[in-house]
Amino acid sequence: MLGPPGAGKGTQANLLSKKAGVPHISTGDIFRDAMKNGTPMGRRAAEFIQRGELVPDEVVIGIVEERLKEEDCRGGFILDGFPRTVAQAESLDKFLESKGISLDAVVEVVVSRDEVVRRLSNRRTCEHCQAVYHLIHNPPKEDGICDRCKGKLMQRQDDTIEVILNRLKVYERQTAPLAGYYEKKGRLLKIGGEKKIEEVVAEIAGKLGIHSPSPLPTGERDG
Site for ligand AP5, residues 107 to 126, rule: CB under 6 A: 119, 123
Pick between residue 16 and residue 20 the one whose CB is nearest to ligand AP5: 16
By CB under 6 A, residue 160 contacts ligand AP5 = no
- 48 scored as a contact of ligand AP5 (CB under 6 A): yes
Nearer to ligand AP5, 16 or 60 (CB): 60
| Catalytic status, residue 119 | no
Whichever of 10 and 23 has its CB closer to ligand AP5, that residue is 10
To ligand AP5, the closest distance from the beta carbon of 211 in angstroms equals 21
Q: Which of 15, 16, 60, 106 binds ligand AP5 (CB under 6 A)?
A: 60
Check binding of 9 to ligand AP5 (CB under 6 A).
yes
Nearest to 120 by CA among 155, 89, 151, 91: 155
Q: Is 91 in the site for ligand AP5 (CB under 6 A)?
A: no
Is there a catalytic annotation at residue 74?
no
Q: Which residues are catalytic?
A: 9, 84, 123, 156, 167
